[in-house]
Amino acid sequence: MIVKNLTQNIVLSLQADLADTILSRMKGLLGRKTLEQGRALIITQCNSIHMFFMKFPIDAIFIDRAGCVVGCVKNIKPFQMSPLFWTAERVVELPAGTIDRTATSLGDILEIK
């Protein structure tokens, strides 16, 4: 899947994996040593994340049902937790620095194809 910020007209990820089952959502990025540039993980039914037992920081973009960005967490480090974003339906986990590099901000619209 490709993740694009339509508001900024920039691609966030050329290769996104989908975590849409109970097991895949629970596992998330656990067990990986890194998340390469251009990659992402989309977790469905998610309005908050934790970084327990992770080995690297990430950026997390929370979106609602319409794809509107309702939360951005930059450089969330291992063993930290994100805030709870009540209206979020999904989170897009990206390499740290992606939010700043793409100027993604609240209210932007993301498209996932």
CATH number, domain containing residue 8: 2.60.120.1140
Helix or strand or coil: residue 98? helix
Check if the beta carbon of residue 9 is closer than 8 Å to that of residue 74. no
pLDDT at 30: 75
Amino acid at 8: Q
For 74-89, the pLDDT digits (tens) are 999 999 999 999 999 9
DSSP 88: -
Mean pLDDT, the chain, whole residue set: 94
- CA angle 38/43/49 to nearest 5° reads 100
Region 69-75: what's the mean pLDDT? 98
Indicate the pLDDT class of residue 1, thresholds 50, 70 and 90: very high
pLDDT at 43: 96
Predicted confidence (pLDDT) at residue 32 exceeds the cutoff of 90: no
Total number of domains constituting the chain: 1
Region 20-35: what's the mean pLDDT? 83
73: containing domain? 3-112
Indicate the pLDDT class of residue 58, thresholds 50, 70 and 90: very high
Cα–Cα distances (Å) from 72 to 10, 22, 32, 84, 92, in that order, read 16, 24, 22, 11, 10
Residues with Cβ within 8 Å of 52's Cβ and at least 6 positions away in sequence, in order, are 78, 79
Token pair of 68 as six digits: 């509107």
Question: H-helix or E-strand containing 102?
Answer: helix 98-102
pLDDT at 35: 87
